[in-house]
Amino acid sequence: MMTANTTNQSSSDNITPAGNTNPASEAGHTSQTSSASSVSKESPATSISQATTTGHTSQTNQAARTAADKPKIVFDCDPGLDDAIAILTAAYFCDIVGITTVNGNVGIDYTTHNALAVAQIAALDVEVHRGASRPLIAPTIDAARVHGATGLGDAKLPSLTRTVASNDAVGYICDTARSVDELHLVAVGPLTNLALALRRDPDLPKHLQSITIMGGSARIGNVTPVAEFNAWADPEAAAIVFKEAAPVTMVGLDVTRQILFGMTEVDRIREAATPTALFAASLVAYAYEQSLQRGLSAAPIHDAVAVITVTHPHLFTISAHPVTVELQGETTRGMTVVDLRPRKRIESETRPASDSSSGNTSPDNPDSNVVWEARSETVRNLILEAVTTL
């Protein structure tokens, strides 16, 4: 049987426990048709195919796009080297309505400071709201060994001239979902803020166009053999999100590791020579060095891939499957378990005999949109385009 081993880790490999493209213009899509249809069920949260329509026209004329063309997003993050690159990527391809911060790669003081610093360096007109300082239940961990003690490697940050708009990221997420139409939520840190938002407003997904997370994995972990950092850092929060915000789009570690950055890319970014590009180059260079030390051949920039999944969904292979988060396993806690069994079998084994409904899966185990493969070179070029042009 196709059991799905799943798990992964995310934004930080190894941790210390303590689109604008016109789909037609892109050759060779990988998106599965079946997934596209399953993704766009009428359910609340979303559809990747809808994201396609809100987005883009062509990756060569990004500058010509107006703000109205770009998907509106709230970006929930824990900067973090790759989070910082993701903010820059989102600033280029999306209309960032707001940034919320969460404890994760480093503590909440650092992640919030770093989000403000990135926005300042890139001159982004965006509010930053400080969020959760600890996981729901799990002990606090970080990934400072990967991202540096302050979270942004050895980048030189300016003195902050900006301050947070609030200390209530959860309230901001809930309010903004109701006040901004067609809002996409992209969460690339531990899912604490989003879980708390779902507790505060169970109808939250109905007010969002889509929910995309960088976290989990369908194949391999990084903190443990099967658990990815963001899922492992707050597994109870991840469990709430996969169950109560379905269908969530999962951009897992096994996908983000398909898009790698080395010194060639660092040099290409540096050549742009803008303050933003030089900052981005320092982050990618640090990530590259860290990746080499951890046995990888180059650096994944995990969180930026999640942004591209929203803006250029046709560059990814996506299919719908139930995903649950393992909370009890001695060696598998934090694993995102993807159920790849044939649909009829899932139905017969999860639905009570008395239930004759025709739903795809048990309500207790709803489908998520699992991302499998990326057109990695195109995705990487889009991220490079963003950080060198912004």
The residue with tokens 């385009």 is 385
Nearer to Ca ion (CB atom), residue 11 or residue 31: 11
Backbone angles phi, psi at 315, to 5 degrees: -85, 5
Asked if residues 327 and 236 have their Cβ atoms less than 8 Å apart, the reply is yes
| Contact with Ca ion (CB under 5 A) among 74, 122, 143, 188 | 188
- Residues 146, 74: Cα–Cα separation, whole Å: 25
DSSP string, 326-343: --S-TTTTTBEEE--S-H
Q: Which residue is nearest to Ca ion (CB)?
A: 11
Using the contact rule CB under 5 A, the part of the chain among 51-59, 76-84, 116-124, 241-249 near Ca ion is: 76-84
The residue from 56, 302, 312, 314 that is catalytic is: 302
Distance CA 252, CA 278 (A): 28
| Interface positions, 82-111, toward Ca ion (CB under 5 A) | 83
Q: Which is nearer to Ca ion, 78 or 127 (CB)?
A: 78
Region of 213 please: left (phi>0), alpha (psi -120 to 50) or beta.
Answer: beta
**For Ca ion, the closer CB: 11 or 20:** 11
Say whether residue 127 binds Ca ion (CB under 5 A). no
CA–CA separation, 362 and 349 (whole Å): 9
Choose the binding region for Ca ion from 18-26, 77-85, 152-160, 249-257 (rule: CB under 5 A): 77-85
Q: What is the smallest separation between the CB atom of 371 and Ca ion, expressed in angstroms? A: 16
- Binding track, positions 296-335, relative to Ca ion; x by CB under 5 A: -------x--------------------------------
Binding to Ca ion in span 1-40, by CB under 5 A: 11
Smallest gap from residue 387 Cβ to Ca ion (A): 16
Q: For residues 181 and 167, give the distance between their C-alpha atoms in angstroms, rounded to a whole number.
A: 24
Q: How far apart are CA 288 and CA 300, in angstroms?
A: 8
9 vs 40 by CB, closer to Ca ion? 9
Instruction: Determine whether 312 is an active site residue.
Output: no
Which range of residues in 107-115, 184-192, 314-322, 359-367 is near Ca ion by CB under 5 A? 184-192
Q: Which is nearer to Ca ion, 80 or 131 (CB)?
A: 80
Taking CB under 5 A as the criterion, the residue among 44, 55, 71, 80 binding Ca ion is 80
Q: How many residues bind Ca ion (CB under 5 A)?
A: 7
Q: Is residue 59 a contact point for Ca ion (CB under 5 A)?
A: no
> Per CB under 5 A, which region of 39-47, 72-80, 89-97, 308-316 contacts Ca ion?
72-80
Minimum CB separation from Ca ion for residue 93, in Å? Answer: 18
Alpha helix positions (H), 201-260: 229-233, 235-244, 253-256
At residue 65's C-alpha, the angle toward residues 206 and 319, to 5°, is 45
Q: Does residue 189 bind Ca ion (CB under 5 A)?
A: yes
In 3D space, the residue among 339, 338, 364 whose CA is nearest the CA of residue 351 turns out to be 364
In the complex, least distance from residue 224 CB atom to Ca ion, rounded to whole angstroms:
18
Choose the binding region for Ca ion from 75-83, 149-157, 190-198, 272-280 (rule: CB under 5 A): 75-83
Least separation in angstroms between residue 78's CB and Ca ion is 5
Nearest distance from residue 13's CB to Ca ion, in Å?
12
Yes or no: say if 57 and 65 are a contact pair by the CB < 8 Å rule. Answer: yes
Sequence-distant (≥ 6) Cβ neighbours of residue 131 within 8 angstroms: 76, 100, 101, 102, 103, 108, 169, 170, 192, 193
Classify strands 336-338 and 367-374 as parallel, antiparallel or unpaired.
unpaired
Question: C-beta of 64: minimal distance to Ca ion in Å?
Answer: 31
List CB contacts of 301: < 8 A, sequence separation 6 or more: 81, 82, 85, 86, 256, 259, 261, 284, 287, 383
In the complex, the residues that contact Ca ion under the rule CB under 5 A are 11, 78, 80, 83, 188-189, 303
Residues carrying an active site annotation: 302
